[in-house]
Structure 1
Amino acid sequence: VGLDYFGPVSYTGAMGIKKKTWVLLITCLITRAVHLELVTDNSTITYLMALKRYFGRRGVPKTILCDNAPGFLLGNKMINDDIRNRHHSSDTLTTFLATKEIELKNITPLSPWQGGIYERIVGIIKNQFYKTVCKAELSYIELETIMIEVEAAVNSRPITTNPTTPDDPAALRPVDFLIPNINLAVPNDCDIR
């Protein structure tokens, strides 16, 4: 998988106070399936906790590729230290990652094109998100809901050619690798508000 942050994204907190959050984008480098996690800051602990949530929902990847953001670097260093010192067996996330033998890779410093796959998906997510939100002021729960809907829309995009005749097979989507033939769209006339 490839990892990247984008943001900050503003939302309206309690008593109308403007707050910021970031989005951790995790994408499969093979299927281009996307997973989005809202995080409150760019700290290492928040990064490790977001990884833990991802593993709980999607499983543990073989390899993690990310850029050289300070949170990623320190988090990966903590994990690698646990890999080198396997003799201590605690229940920490880093020990868990060490026992799963996840290969952690960082792109070469000052070479953002090496993360081009996930950088392009960040662009797709931002475009979809800002077209959906426009200038609306959202609460945290509304922001989280829209991010999940954006994730569903991006995972429903075709990655093979669309059928041109009724006999052609359906286009393959990233979500088909996760949950085959699922319909992720909510009907437009289903207003929940």
Structure 2
Amino acid sequence: ECWHWGGVASTLQKLRQRSFILKARKIVYDALRHCPGCKRFNAKPAAEPTPALPAFRVEITPPFLFTGVDFAGPLYYKRENGRKAKSYILLFTCAVSRAIHLELTMDLSTYAVLQALQKFINRFPSARNFISDNGASFRRADAEIRLIYNHIARGEISKWLTETKLTWKFITPASPWVGGFWERMVGCTKRCLSKALGTDRISD
């Protein structure tokens, strides 16, 4: 049991109530400094050093050369018959400038990802490297892109892919903090939409 909770002054005051000791302050100070209980309670919290940003986050690059990708939602909209339906936003954010581009998708399928990706590339031809979490639609889209590169087939999407080389990297599974630079932009987008739309249901 440790009675040093008051520090040197309080401990010294308690000690002098019983006896007078020469150089008592130094003795009390040394005792508190080597007390295991005091060391434990007075220890400073651990502080991990913040690692440096990766090179692709700080280099001067064309817009969206390195792009973070993530889904936001669901968002609810009103169909032509007045019924409520579910949709999603596929968010693209530049790793350097933090600019964002939004594409509305009706679901989380691989086809929706490839369609949105084609629209995005058409608008920003400098986009080449994509980074995302390990979502099934993203994994499948990467596999489809690599398959098309290896075995070029006919079709509009494959023709578009032959004109540009895309790479897709995935963060460590079950570690969403690694993708913080796009998760932050997802939060900003959802907050702005909720303030602008409120509880209104608009059409797609």
- For Structure 1 versus Structure 2, the TM-score category normalised by the shorter chain is 0.5 to 0.7
- TM-score, normalised with respect to structure 1: 0.66
3-state DSSP of counterpart to 1:14? coil
2:71 is aligned to 5
Which structure 1 segments of 5+ residues have no match? 141-193
Checking the alignment, whether the CA contact within 8 Å between 1:78 and 1:94 is kept in structure 2 is no
Give the number of aligned pairs. Answer: 138
Shift of 1:11: 0.9
2:138 is aligned to 72
After superposition, residues 51-66 of structure 1 pair within 5 angstroms as 51-66=117-132
**Hey, what's the Cα distance between the residues in 2 that align with 1:122 and 1:90?**
35
Pairing partner for 1:97 from 138, 157, 161:
161
**Hey, what's the Cα distance between the residues in 2 that align with 1:137 and 1:75?**
31
1:130 is aligned to 194
After superposition, residues 122-161 of structure 1 pair within 5 angstroms as 122-140=186-204
Task: Report the AA paired with residue 109 of structure 1.
Answer: P
After superposition, residues 110-129 of structure 1 pair within 5 angstroms as 110-129=174-193
Shift of 1:109: 0.9
Task: Report the AA paired with residue 44 of structure 1.
Answer: T
Shift of 1:139: 1.8
1:173 is aligned to none
Task: Report the AA paired with residue 132 of structure 1.
Answer: A
Cα offsets for 1:108-128 (capped at 9, x unmatched): 111111111000000011111
Shift of 1:60: 4.2
Aligned CA distance change for structure 1 residues 56 and 119 (closer, same or farther; 3 Å): same
Aligned CA distance change for structure 1 residues 16 and 91 (closer, same or farther; 3 Å): closer
**Hey, what's the Cα distance between the residues in 2 that align with 1:133 and 1:18?**
15
Cα offsets for 1:88-139 (capped at 9, x unmatched): 3534425643552222101111111111100000001111110111111212
3-state DSSP of counterpart to 2:81? helix
Which structure 2 segments of 5+ residues have no match? 1-66
Q: Percent identity?
A: 34
- TM-score, normalised with respect to structure 2: 0.63
3-state DSSP of counterpart to 1:97? helix
Task: Report the AA paired with residue 78 of structure 2.
Answer: T
